[in-house]
Amino acid sequence: MIKGMRLLMAAATGAVLLLGGVHLSAANAATAGPDFSGAASSDAFIPLDKDVEVTVTLQLKDPGTVSAVNGTITPPGGSERPVGFDFRPSTAAETAVTGRFGIGKNDPAGTWRMTVKVTRNGATRDNAFTIDVSARQGIRDASVQPDPVQLVKGKDVKVSVRAGVSDATSVSAKLISDESNEAFDLGDLALYSDGSYRGETYFADDTAPGSWTLEVTATRGGQALKGVASFTVNAPAGGASKKARTRVTISAPAKAAKGRPIKVQGKVFRGSKAYPGKRLEVYFKAKGAKTYRLLGFAKSNTSGKYVKTYTARKDGYFRVKVPGTSTARSALSPQEFVDVRP
């Protein structure tokens, strides 16, 4: 278990403040009113450090007979505040209308009550909704395994990260040396079925020994909560081997339409220079799955760049591995999450 876990709050501006352990909450949903069909949807949440504008989307019936849509919302134990809707007349049978309202860091989580007034054919009717507003995101715990990391001459040691995080849309991690400029970017941590976020990388035998920091960042709505903790790396017995260090980057679209092609691409390095003609392994792990599976191989060109095209089928994580050789070390790219939309 990580020693001395500290939580920080990082605003979108980059400011960092000390923060106590905040945490938990429920999914966001809303009930339906008589002028609307289906369920309403909202991603309303309590922000970390500043006011935010959140949205709620409703399906309005027969919008051609409607002249106005207005609303108010009331937090538990609080006063009502306005909800502005983007209603425009339409001849469609139904149309989506989006309401916007403000939430501050001192507002309560829980069930908020919203009233939407619809003026139809000259008469106004109230539509009552409830919206669940989730609490602030939180980092409950984090760990590096093994700790300490014992480097082994001539071998690469797998280092795993696990984080318990609530109410975040994405979680990423970095491992940073306190005594050198060395760092490992794990990218997007993968969400597992037990609710934990995980990632892994490999430490070569020439990785800087000494004190290191695990940095976990949980992001939601443009705001980031950062947790930092210390762990230790021990030098290998007998010193480091003479193998060359390798590194590989990765890029993939954050969102993709199901059935459409997506490109996984990046660049591989040997030392500080491009690594041409290197055969790379491309892996994929579906969201909620426990393990990665090998999708295939990519080969770097004369500039060290690689690209591979796949069909978007399900949400999941891509990563690329540089296999080690007798003269070069192995390396893993950060994980890249792709959200596949219908």
Q: Is residue 96 domain-shared with residue 59, that is, in the same domain?
A: yes
Domain boundary among 234, 267, 294: 234
Q: Is residue 13 domain-shared with residue 149, that is, in the same domain?
A: yes
CATH number for position 68: 2.60.40.10
CATH number for position 320: 2.60.40.730
CATH number for position 186: 2.60.40.1930
Residue 240 lies in a domain: no
pLDDT of amino acid 41: 82
The phi and psi torsions of 107 (rounded to 5 degrees) equal -70, 155
pLDDT of amino acid 342: 85
Q: Is residue 125 domain-shared with residue 268, that is, in the same domain?
A: no
Q: Is residue 16 domain-shared with residue 165, that is, in the same domain?
A: yes
pLDDT of amino acid 14: 33
Residue 30 lies in a domain: no
pLDDT of amino acid 32: 61
Q: Is residue 172 domain-shared with residue 199, that is, in the same domain?
A: yes
Domain boundary among 99, 133, 167: 133
Task: State in Å, rounded, how far the first CA of the chain is from the last one.
Answer: 39
pLDDT of amino acid 332: 94
Residue 196 lies in a domain: yes
Closest CA to 155 of 205, 202, 209: 205
Extract the tokens encoding 6.
């500290």
pLDDT of amino acid 46: 87
Q: Is residue 220 domain-shared with residue 159, that is, in the same domain?
A: yes
Residue 68 lies in a domain: yes
- In this prediction the pTM is 0.70
Residue 25 lies in a domain: no
Residue 95 lies in a domain: yes
pLDDT of amino acid 27: 33
Q: Look at strands 223-234 and 210-220 and give their pairing.
A: antiparallel
Q: Is residue 252 domain-shared with residue 321, that is, in the same domain?
A: yes
Domain containing residue 13: 3-20+137-234
Q: Is residue 99 domain-shared with residue 173, that is, in the same domain?
A: no
Give the tens place of pLDDT for each residue, 139-168. 888 999 999 999 999 889 999 999 999 888
Q: Is residue 149 domain-shared with residue 123, that is, in the same domain?
A: no
pLDDT of amino acid 18: 25
Q: Is residue 82 domain-shared with residue 145, that is, in the same domain?
A: no
Domain boundary among 181, 200, 234: 234
| CA 313/CA 296 separation, integer angstroms | 16
Domains of the chain: total: 3
Distant-in-sequence, close-in-space partners of 26: CB < 8 Å, separation ≥ 6: 132, 134
The phi and psi torsions of 62 (rounded to 5 degrees) equal 40, 60
Give the tens place of pLDDT for each residue, 187-225. 999 998 888 999 999 999 999 999 999 999 999 877 888
CB-based burial, 26-52: b 16+ in 10 Å, e otherwise: eebebeebebbeeebbbebbbbbbeeb
CA 300-305-307 angle, to 5 degrees, is 80
| CA 247/CA 268 separation, integer angstroms | 6
| CA 7/CA 291 separation, integer angstroms | 29
Extract the tokens encoding 87.
């209603």
Q: What string of pLDDT tens digits covers the 342 residues of the chain?
A: 334 445 554 433 332 322 223 222 333 445 567 899 877 788 888 887 778 899 999 999 999 999 999 999 999 999 999 999 999 989 999 999 999 999 998 999 999 999 999 999 999 999 999 999 988 888 888 999 999 999 999 889 999 999 999 888 899 999 999 999 999 999 999 998 888 999 999 999 999 999 999 999 999 877 888 888 889 999 999 999 999 999 999 999 999 999 999 999 999 999 999 999 999 999 999 998 888 999 999 999 999 999 999 999 999 999 999 999 999 999 999 999 999 998
Q: Is residue 9 domain-shared with residue 141, that is, in the same domain?
A: yes
SS3 track for the chain: CCEEEEEEEECCCCCEEECCCCCCCCCCCECCCCCEEEEEEECCECCCCCCEEEEEEEEEECHHHEEEEEEEEECCCCCCEEEEECCCCCCCCEEEEEEEEEECCCCCCEEEEEEEEEEECCEEEEEEEEEEEECCCEEEEEEEECCCEECCCCCCEEEEEEEEEECCCEEEEEEEECCCCCEEEEEECEEECCCEEEEEEEECCCCCCEEEEEEEEEEECCEEEEEEEEEEEECCCCCCCCCECEEECCECCCEEECCCEEEEEEEEEECCEECCCCEEEEEEEECECCCCEEEEEEECCCCCEEEEEEECCCCEEEEEEECCCCCECCEECCEEEEEEEC
